Structure 1
Amino acid sequence: MKFRSLRPLFIAIVLGGSALGIYSCSKQTSADLENEPANLISSTPETQVWQFKVLNKTYVLPEGKLPWQAQLDKIIVEYNTLLKENDLELIGYKHIESINTLQELREAKNNVSNLFPQYTSPSNFTIVESNSLKYRFKPYLDSMLPDTKDRAYIASLTGLKKEKAYLFEENDLGVVNLVWKYKGETKNTRCFVSNKRGLIYDNLLYSIHYKPADQSKNMARKKKNLPRLLTLSEGGEGGGSLNCSENYFPSYTFNLSDAEYDFMGDRIYYYSISVVVSGRCDNGKKSISFKDLNSSYDAGFGYSCIADVETKSFVTGTSGHLDFAFAWAWSNSVTVGLEWDGFSFTITGTGATGAKGERYVTTGMLQ
């Protein structure tokens, strides 16, 4: 084992998708990666890793527990209620193999389970044996657990994969047998774990996903209105007052977002749509002056997600308006898409989960 010279180094320890910034000493831990550039070498922290993650929640690591043990214990104790909705339950685990060489890592990746969830709706799935899915996920497994010291290959990983990729260390990586009960039958999967980082990959823990319990899907945030809202019978347009005072800049904001996470804490898809209509006070009347439409989205390996928002018509002034359309879609089985014809969206991708809508914003809706 060789050591680099000791020096301050700011490193990110990825723990189930979250990062902790600490100061430590850079240390080479495997002769197989002896000549890797410094930014691609895993470092051993001098301070204790004290957090772990399940879904989108972060917990304090119990004393005497490794991160992967704490994650699996938390799933068994607190999250089996979610799994039981589909007749699945994690009932136990056992460490069965330590991986000490890159050759052992290659062999272990060839022996992963072929059990996967097959979703029949956004929240319902069955467990199936699928060698085709096992083959489909092999590139992802290879990017998560590189078994080569080829710098060009590692450098070719995308930003997200490079951040999540586990670079081999001696005396750290292992395989845990997960014991499941599905519809009364016992099932087993092989899960890769790191004593430092926690859970790395398992077919079921990665492919089963949930929304955070406290997540709000559809929010239309509006600033406090001055003066008070007028009803339509009181002369308000769109339920709001058309009058305003000088040095008052009213606005309307629309937000729509959603995300789901796997049990290892990784966000597997995400989208966000936002629209802001800004105005000013023009001779005591609200006037529309500016619009800003934005959409963003991403998805993990094996998932597809897209979102978009488009203007149908926009008029500034005291009689102005913004008519906009929006749409989103995601899938874990097909590539999804959105087609815009100038008037409405069409969601492409058979079996995709998604929705579309339209909003017509008038000056009376600015607050």
Structure 2
Amino acid sequence: MIIPPENHHYSYTGRIDFSSPKTPVISWPGTSIKARFTGSYLAILLDDHEGKNFFNVIIDGDDLTPYVVQAEKGKHKYVIATSLSTGEHQMEIYKRTEGEDGLTTFLGIELADNATLLPAPPKPIRRIEFYGDSITSGLAIEAAINGNEKIGAEKNNYLTYSSIAGRDLNAEVHTISQSGIGLMHSWFDFTMFDFYDQLNADGNNNSHWDFSKWTPDVVVVNLLQNDSWIYDTLTEKPSVNAIVENYLSFIRLLREKYPNTYIICALGSMDATRPNSPWPSYITSAVKILNSQYKDEKVTTLFFKFNGYAAHPRQAQNRENAQLLEQAIRELTHWN
């Protein structure tokens, strides 16, 4: 028995394109679909556009041993379980990979013929939104310290500092991130200014997210790592004032969307926060202007310590950074 995507018992999280309710399109890292069901059998139905995406399928909350789906290009059925115990079960489909890995159309799930889809558990009341780059996407998070950082199977947004903090704080999370992206310069021809308001995360496109649909309590911005790398390659380098003004402009854009949201201006834990790096000071300068000139007291900073090696943070560093972020958010919001 196939349960189509438009069934109201599914619980969707993330920027998902529902322009066709029968074929919702998933693109952002951390996009999630949850459901409760009965029966011993579960399969998921996906139409992956590129064949590069990976998904965790978590049954009954066991996220230590998820079923990992490597999506094949085109329409396919992926059998997850055939002998579940009797009674109720919970399921979560979680996108490990990011927009650069292509779009995926969710086509529903398949249950045993005598099974039932039950109302999903209620969503958390708390909400956190992240704007970031490969660190927030989870590039190479499951790789060895000295491993290849380009293996798709080792990219896993579920294990990032951002997603861990969201779960620990019992908050619903939206992740707006792209490996290689910056605010002034990216490793491609668009920046977060072009990208932050898109519904679809597959490159720079004309899709538009409706910010009125979902308002976070906290926004975390972890950007400038790529700007710092690209800065050293530029013949004409932007001035300190230009960098600060650019950063300030982005935070002001977010403030226009979210007048009452706490904003944490973060950086790290790669070499932009190495000892004596100037990049944290640019963020600090921008936040001081926001606090004083714009009287915006709901903006603050958080810098994750340099992880100490020339690679993306792995699981251990992400767990440490999640703890720091959780503490910062609790201090701002007084969440228990």
Q: Same fold (TM over 0.5)?
A: no
Which structure ranks higher in relative contact order (CA pairs < 8 Å, sequence separation ≥ 6)? 2
Interval of TM-score (by shorter of Structure 1 and Structure 2): under 0.3
Higher helix proportion: 2
Compare CA radii of gyration and give the structure with the larger one. Answer: 1
The TM-score, its normalising length taken from structure 2, stands at 0.22
